[in-house]
Amino acid sequence: MKIKGHLDLFSGIGEFSLALQRAGIEPDWIGYSDIDQYANQVFKRRFPNAEELGSITDIQPKDLPKIDLITFGFPCQNLSIAGKRKGLKGSRSSLFFEVMRIIRAKRPKYFIFENVKGIFSSNKGKDFDIILQSIAESGYDGQWQLCNTRFFGLPQNRERIYFVGHIRRECRPKVFPIGEGSSKNKKAQKINNNPQYARTITTAQAHGTAKHMSYIKEKKGLRQIGSIGKDADATRVYDVNGISKTLKGEGGGWGARTGLYEVKSAALRTFPRESNMTKEEKKKRGKRLELRDDDVANTITSHQLDSIVSGQSRIRRLTPKECERLQGFPDDWTDGCSDTQRYKQCGNAISVPVAEAIYKKMYVL
Protein backbone atom coordinates (compact mmCIF):
# COMPACT_ATOMS: atom_id res chain seq x y z
CA MET A 1 0.00 0.00 0.00
CA LYS A 2 1.30 3.45 -0.94
CA ILE A 3 0.93 6.61 1.16
CA LYS A 4 2.35 10.12 0.96
CA GLY A 5 5.25 11.15 3.18
CA HIS A 6 6.07 9.71 6.58
CA LEU A 7 7.76 12.03 9.09
CA ASP A 8 9.50 10.05 11.86
CA LEU A 9 10.24 12.42 14.77
CA PHE A 10 12.47 11.43 17.73
CA SER A 11 13.14 8.63 15.27
CA GLY A 12 15.67 6.62 17.29
CA ILE A 13 16.75 3.53 15.38
CA GLY A 14 13.75 3.49 13.07
CA GLU A 15 11.24 1.34 14.92
CA PHE A 16 8.15 3.18 13.62
CA SER A 17 9.56 3.07 10.10
CA LEU A 18 10.45 -0.63 10.36
CA ALA A 19 6.93 -1.45 11.58
CA LEU A 20 5.48 0.48 8.61
CA GLN A 21 7.64 -1.58 6.27
CA ARG A 22 6.55 -4.84 7.90
CA ALA A 23 2.91 -3.82 7.58
CA GLY A 24 3.44 -3.51 3.82
CA ILE A 25 2.98 0.27 3.71
CA GLU A 26 5.32 2.23 1.45
CA PRO A 27 5.59 6.02 1.86
CA ASP A 28 6.67 8.20 -1.06
CA TRP A 29 9.11 10.00 1.24
CA ILE A 30 10.62 9.36 4.68
CA GLY A 31 12.08 12.13 6.80
CA TYR A 32 13.58 11.56 10.24
CA SER A 33 14.68 13.75 13.11
CA ASP A 34 16.77 12.91 16.15
CA ILE A 35 19.72 14.54 17.93
CA ASP A 36 21.40 11.23 18.87
CA GLN A 37 24.22 10.80 16.36
CA TYR A 38 24.56 7.06 17.00
CA ALA A 39 20.84 6.39 16.54
CA ASN A 40 20.96 8.45 13.33
CA GLN A 41 23.78 6.25 12.05
CA VAL A 42 21.61 3.15 12.50
CA PHE A 43 18.57 4.80 10.91
CA LYS A 44 20.53 5.98 7.87
CA ARG A 45 22.10 2.55 7.39
CA ARG A 46 18.72 0.78 7.58
CA PHE A 47 16.80 3.38 5.54
CA PRO A 48 19.40 4.82 3.15
CA ASN A 49 16.85 6.78 1.09
CA ALA A 50 15.41 8.63 4.08
CA GLU A 51 16.14 12.34 4.57
CA GLU A 52 17.85 13.42 7.80
CA LEU A 53 16.28 16.63 9.14
CA GLY A 54 18.34 17.40 12.24
CA SER A 55 16.80 18.68 15.48
CA ILE A 56 13.02 19.04 15.64
CA THR A 57 13.40 22.67 16.69
CA ASP A 58 15.10 23.42 13.36
CA ILE A 59 12.45 21.82 11.14
CA GLN A 60 10.55 24.29 8.95
CA PRO A 61 7.24 22.74 7.79
CA LYS A 62 7.28 24.77 4.55
CA ASP A 63 10.38 22.86 3.48
CA LEU A 64 8.69 19.46 3.83
CA PRO A 65 6.70 17.59 1.16
CA LYS A 66 3.12 16.35 1.56
CA ILE A 67 2.88 14.17 4.67
CA ASP A 68 0.20 11.58 5.48
CA LEU A 69 1.69 10.22 8.70
CA ILE A 70 3.74 11.62 11.58
CA THR A 71 5.08 9.28 14.26
CA PHE A 72 6.94 10.19 17.43
CA GLY A 73 7.88 9.05 20.90
CA PHE A 74 8.69 12.38 22.53
CA PRO A 75 11.17 12.30 25.45
CA CYS A 76 9.61 10.78 28.54
CA GLN A 77 12.19 11.68 31.18
CA ASN A 78 10.03 14.44 32.67
CA LEU A 79 6.92 12.22 32.72
CA SER A 80 8.29 8.90 33.96
CA ILE A 81 7.64 7.79 37.52
CA ALA A 82 11.38 7.05 37.69
CA GLY A 83 12.20 10.68 36.81
CA LYS A 84 11.75 13.98 38.67
CA ARG A 85 8.21 14.41 37.29
CA LYS A 86 8.60 17.96 35.95
CA GLY A 87 5.96 17.04 33.39
CA LEU A 88 5.43 19.03 30.22
CA LYS A 89 7.30 21.97 31.77
CA GLY A 90 10.49 19.92 31.66
CA SER A 91 12.97 20.86 28.95
CA ARG A 92 12.72 17.46 27.24
CA SER A 93 9.06 16.46 27.44
CA SER A 94 8.01 20.00 26.43
CA LEU A 95 9.22 19.11 22.93
CA PHE A 96 5.73 17.70 22.48
CA PHE A 97 4.66 21.23 21.53
CA GLU A 98 7.28 21.32 18.77
CA VAL A 99 5.58 18.26 17.30
CA MET A 100 2.19 19.96 17.45
CA ARG A 101 3.67 22.98 15.65
CA ILE A 102 4.54 20.73 12.70
CA ILE A 103 1.24 18.81 12.84
CA ARG A 104 -0.79 22.04 12.65
CA ALA A 105 1.24 23.20 9.65
CA LYS A 106 1.33 19.92 7.66
CA ARG A 107 -2.09 18.49 8.55
CA PRO A 108 -1.24 14.77 8.22
CA LYS A 109 -4.14 12.35 8.01
CA TYR A 110 -2.78 10.45 11.02
CA PHE A 111 -0.23 10.83 13.77
CA ILE A 112 0.88 8.29 16.37
CA PHE A 113 2.82 8.79 19.55
CA GLU A 114 4.11 6.44 22.25
CA ASN A 115 5.06 7.32 25.81
CA VAL A 116 5.33 5.95 29.34
CA LYS A 117 2.18 5.28 31.36
CA GLY A 118 3.36 7.98 33.79
CA ILE A 119 1.89 10.46 31.31
CA PHE A 120 -1.53 9.65 32.82
CA SER A 121 -0.51 10.67 36.34
CA SER A 122 2.02 13.43 35.61
CA ASN A 123 1.06 16.54 37.60
CA LYS A 124 -2.01 14.69 38.91
CA GLY A 125 -3.28 14.08 35.39
CA LYS A 126 -3.10 17.71 34.30
CA ASP A 127 -0.35 17.08 31.74
CA PHE A 128 -2.41 14.52 29.85
CA ASP A 129 -5.34 16.97 29.87
CA ILE A 130 -3.03 19.59 28.33
CA ILE A 131 -1.97 17.11 25.63
CA LEU A 132 -5.60 16.31 24.78
CA GLN A 133 -6.50 20.00 24.71
CA SER A 134 -3.58 20.82 22.40
CA ILE A 135 -4.59 18.01 20.03
CA ALA A 136 -8.25 19.08 20.03
CA GLU A 137 -7.39 22.73 19.38
CA SER A 138 -5.29 21.60 16.39
CA GLY A 139 -8.38 20.06 14.76
CA TYR A 140 -7.72 16.42 15.64
CA ASP A 141 -9.52 13.73 17.57
CA GLY A 142 -7.75 10.75 19.08
CA GLN A 143 -7.95 7.28 20.55
CA TRP A 144 -5.48 5.60 22.84
CA GLN A 145 -4.64 2.51 24.85
CA LEU A 146 -2.09 1.38 27.42
CA CYS A 147 -0.41 -1.60 25.73
CA ASN A 148 1.92 -4.15 27.27
CA THR A 149 4.58 -5.51 24.91
CA ARG A 150 4.11 -9.02 26.33
CA PHE A 151 0.77 -9.34 24.53
CA PHE A 152 2.33 -8.76 21.11
CA GLY A 153 4.60 -11.78 20.80
CA LEU A 154 7.53 -10.33 22.76
CA PRO A 155 8.41 -11.67 26.22
CA GLN A 156 8.99 -8.26 27.82
CA ASN A 157 6.93 -6.55 30.53
CA ARG A 158 6.73 -3.10 28.91
CA GLU A 159 3.67 -0.90 29.45
CA ARG A 160 3.39 2.10 27.14
CA ILE A 161 0.58 4.36 25.98
CA TYR A 162 -0.06 4.49 22.23
CA PHE A 163 -2.12 7.38 20.88
CA VAL A 164 -3.55 7.64 17.35
CA GLY A 165 -4.67 11.09 16.19
CA HIS A 166 -6.83 11.69 13.11
CA ILE A 167 -8.30 14.78 11.45
CA ARG A 168 -11.69 15.66 12.89
CA ARG A 169 -14.80 14.96 10.80
CA GLU A 170 -12.96 12.60 8.47
CA CYS A 171 -13.75 8.89 8.29
CA ARG A 172 -11.36 6.89 10.45
CA PRO A 173 -11.10 3.24 11.55
CA LYS A 174 -11.43 2.06 15.13
CA VAL A 175 -7.88 1.11 16.08
CA PHE A 176 -8.25 0.12 19.73
CA PRO A 177 -8.56 -2.20 21.56
CA ILE A 178 -5.68 -4.31 20.35
CA GLY A 179 -3.45 -6.85 22.10
CA GLU A 180 -4.54 -7.34 25.68
CA GLY A 181 -7.77 -5.44 25.04
CA SER A 182 -8.85 -8.02 22.49
CA SER A 183 -7.03 -11.05 23.90
CA LYS A 184 -10.21 -12.46 25.46
CA ASN A 185 -11.58 -13.09 21.99
CA LYS A 186 -8.43 -13.27 19.90
CA LYS A 187 -5.92 -15.53 21.56
CA ALA A 188 -3.59 -15.30 18.57
CA GLN A 189 -2.13 -12.14 20.08
CA LYS A 190 -0.87 -14.03 23.12
CA ILE A 191 2.77 -14.94 23.49
CA ASN A 192 2.26 -18.69 23.62
CA ASN A 193 0.37 -18.59 20.32
CA ASN A 194 2.85 -16.32 18.55
CA PRO A 195 6.29 -17.80 19.23
CA GLN A 196 8.03 -16.03 16.35
CA TYR A 197 9.61 -13.53 18.74
CA ALA A 198 9.04 -15.19 22.13
CA ARG A 199 12.41 -16.79 22.68
CA THR A 200 13.96 -17.70 26.00
CA ILE A 201 17.32 -16.39 27.05
CA THR A 202 20.03 -19.02 26.74
CA THR A 203 23.80 -19.00 26.51
CA ALA A 204 23.58 -20.77 23.15
CA GLN A 205 21.18 -18.14 21.84
CA ALA A 206 23.49 -15.34 22.96
CA HIS A 207 26.26 -16.87 20.89
CA GLY A 208 23.94 -17.34 17.92
CA THR A 209 24.24 -21.14 17.94
CA ALA A 210 20.83 -22.29 19.16
CA LYS A 211 18.76 -23.87 16.39
CA HIS A 212 15.73 -24.71 18.51
CA MET A 213 14.30 -22.04 20.81
CA SER A 214 12.09 -22.66 23.80
CA TYR A 215 9.03 -20.43 24.06
CA ILE A 216 7.77 -18.52 27.05
CA LYS A 217 4.19 -19.07 28.17
CA GLU A 218 2.29 -15.92 29.06
CA LYS A 219 1.18 -17.20 32.46
CA LYS A 220 4.73 -17.29 33.83
CA GLY A 221 5.19 -13.52 33.74
CA LEU A 222 8.23 -11.75 35.24
CA ARG A 223 9.80 -14.00 37.88
CA GLN A 224 12.34 -12.55 40.33
CA ILE A 225 14.35 -15.28 42.03
CA GLY A 226 16.71 -13.19 44.17
CA SER A 227 19.21 -10.35 44.10
CA ILE A 228 22.96 -9.79 44.20
CA GLY A 229 23.54 -7.88 47.40
CA LYS A 230 20.94 -5.33 48.52
CA ASP A 231 17.68 -5.61 46.61
CA ALA A 232 17.49 -2.84 44.02
CA ASP A 233 16.51 -2.33 40.39
CA ALA A 234 20.08 -2.98 39.21
CA THR A 235 20.69 -6.07 41.36
CA ARG A 236 17.53 -8.15 40.97
CA VAL A 237 17.94 -11.55 39.36
CA TYR A 238 15.18 -13.06 37.22
CA ASP A 239 14.31 -16.53 35.95
CA VAL A 240 14.84 -16.95 32.20
CA ASN A 241 11.69 -19.08 32.07
CA GLY A 242 9.64 -15.94 32.59
CA ILE A 243 9.42 -12.72 30.59
CA SER A 244 12.07 -10.01 30.83
CA LYS A 245 11.77 -6.80 32.80
CA THR A 246 11.31 -3.53 30.94
CA LEU A 247 14.39 -2.55 28.96
CA LYS A 248 15.71 0.92 29.80
CA GLY A 249 17.77 3.40 27.83
CA GLU A 250 19.35 4.89 30.94
CA GLY A 251 20.24 3.60 34.37
CA GLY A 252 23.19 2.95 36.63
CA GLY A 253 24.44 -0.40 37.79
CA TRP A 254 25.30 -3.53 35.90
CA GLY A 255 21.76 -4.84 35.51
CA ALA A 256 19.75 -1.61 35.56
CA ARG A 257 19.10 -1.49 31.82
CA THR A 258 18.26 -5.12 31.19
CA GLY A 259 17.95 -6.92 34.51
CA LEU A 260 20.09 -9.89 35.58
CA TYR A 261 19.19 -13.46 34.69
CA GLU A 262 20.25 -16.89 35.91
CA VAL A 263 21.32 -18.68 32.75
CA LYS A 264 22.43 -22.28 32.40
CA SER A 265 26.02 -22.51 31.26
CA ALA A 266 26.80 -25.15 28.68
CA ALA A 267 28.82 -28.24 29.42
CA LEU A 268 30.63 -30.35 26.84
CA ARG A 269 30.07 -34.08 26.66
CA THR A 270 32.81 -35.85 24.71
CA PHE A 271 32.56 -39.40 23.42
CA PRO A 272 33.80 -41.46 20.44
CA ARG A 273 31.58 -42.05 17.43
CA GLU A 274 29.45 -45.13 17.97
CA SER A 275 30.99 -46.93 15.03
CA ASN A 276 34.38 -46.74 16.77
CA MET A 277 33.16 -47.73 20.22
CA THR A 278 33.75 -51.01 21.97
CA LYS A 279 30.90 -52.55 23.98
CA GLU A 280 32.58 -51.30 27.15
CA GLU A 281 32.74 -47.73 25.80
CA LYS A 282 29.08 -47.78 24.80
CA LYS A 283 28.10 -48.61 28.38
CA LYS A 284 30.15 -45.65 29.70
CA ARG A 285 29.03 -43.30 26.94
CA GLY A 286 26.89 -41.03 29.13
CA LYS A 287 29.39 -40.72 31.97
CA ARG A 288 32.22 -38.74 30.38
CA LEU A 289 31.72 -35.02 30.90
CA GLU A 290 34.16 -32.15 30.35
CA LEU A 291 33.15 -28.65 31.54
CA ARG A 292 34.27 -25.62 29.53
CA ASP A 293 34.19 -21.89 30.22
CA ASP A 294 33.63 -20.67 26.64
CA ASP A 295 30.71 -22.96 25.69
CA VAL A 296 32.47 -23.81 22.42
CA ALA A 297 32.81 -27.38 21.23
CA ASN A 298 36.14 -28.98 20.36
CA THR A 299 37.00 -29.77 16.76
CA ILE A 300 34.92 -32.73 15.64
CA THR A 301 37.09 -35.58 14.34
CA SER A 302 36.33 -38.96 12.83
CA HIS A 303 37.01 -40.63 16.16
CA GLN A 304 35.04 -38.50 18.62
CA LEU A 305 31.94 -36.32 18.77
CA ASP A 306 31.20 -33.36 21.06
CA SER A 307 27.74 -32.20 22.11
CA ILE A 308 26.63 -29.25 24.26
CA VAL A 309 24.39 -30.14 27.20
CA SER A 310 22.93 -28.25 30.15
CA GLY A 311 25.39 -27.70 32.97
CA GLN A 312 26.07 -25.14 35.69
CA SER A 313 24.33 -21.78 36.08
CA ARG A 314 25.71 -18.27 35.95
CA ILE A 315 24.15 -14.83 36.33
CA ARG A 316 24.45 -12.31 33.53
CA ARG A 317 22.61 -9.43 31.91
CA LEU A 318 21.08 -9.63 28.46
CA THR A 319 23.24 -9.21 25.38
CA PRO A 320 22.52 -6.40 22.86
CA LYS A 321 21.22 -9.02 20.42
CA GLU A 322 18.75 -10.32 22.99
CA CYS A 323 17.58 -6.75 23.66
CA GLU A 324 16.97 -6.30 19.94
CA ARG A 325 14.87 -9.48 19.93
CA LEU A 326 12.87 -8.32 22.95
CA GLN A 327 11.91 -5.17 21.04
CA GLY A 328 11.10 -7.02 17.82
CA PHE A 329 14.12 -5.98 15.74
CA PRO A 330 16.05 -8.33 13.48
CA ASP A 331 19.30 -9.63 14.95
CA ASP A 332 22.16 -7.12 14.80
CA TRP A 333 19.91 -4.21 13.81
CA THR A 334 22.13 -1.92 15.91
CA ASP A 335 25.51 -3.47 15.08
CA GLY A 336 28.32 -1.07 14.33
CA CYS A 337 27.73 0.81 17.60
CA SER A 338 29.32 0.16 20.99
CA ASP A 339 27.44 -2.11 23.38
CA THR A 340 26.71 0.93 25.56
CA GLN A 341 24.96 2.64 22.65
CA ARG A 342 23.17 -0.53 21.59
CA TYR A 343 21.70 -0.98 25.07
CA LYS A 344 20.62 2.66 25.12
CA GLN A 345 19.04 2.46 21.67
CA CYS A 346 17.05 -0.68 22.46
CA GLY A 347 15.90 0.69 25.81
CA ASN A 348 14.66 3.91 24.20
CA ALA A 349 12.92 2.16 21.31
CA ILE A 350 9.26 1.27 20.95
CA SER A 351 8.27 -2.37 20.46
CA VAL A 352 8.03 -2.90 16.71
CA PRO A 353 5.13 -5.45 16.67
CA VAL A 354 2.90 -3.05 18.64
CA ALA A 355 3.31 -0.32 16.02
CA GLU A 356 2.81 -2.88 13.26
CA ALA A 357 -0.50 -4.00 14.80
CA ILE A 358 -1.65 -0.37 15.02
CA TYR A 359 -0.80 0.31 11.36
CA LYS A 360 -2.77 -2.72 10.24
CA LYS A 361 -5.86 -1.46 12.08
CA MET A 362 -5.38 2.13 10.84
CA TYR A 363 -5.06 1.15 7.22
CA VAL A 364 -7.45 -1.84 7.50
CA LEU A 365 -4.85 -4.31 6.24
CA distance 343 to 220: 25
What are the φ and ψ backbone dihedral angles of 40, each rounded to 5 degrees?
-65, -35
**Three-state secondary structure string covering 178-205:** CHHHCCCCCHHHCHHHCCCCCECCCHHH
76 noted as active-site residue: yes
The C-alpha R_g of the chain, in whole angstroms, comes to 24
Catalytic residue, candidates 76, 147, 323, 346: 76
Report DSSP letters for 39-72, one per residue: HHHHHHHHSTTSEE---GGG--GGGS--EEEEEE
What are the φ and ψ backbone dihedral angles of 270, each rounded to 5 degrees?
-115, 130
CA distance 64 to 193: 42
Those residues with Cβ within 8 angstroms of residue 353's Cβ, 6 or more apart along the chain or in another chain: 19, 149, 152, 153, 154, 197, 328
The catalytic residues are 76
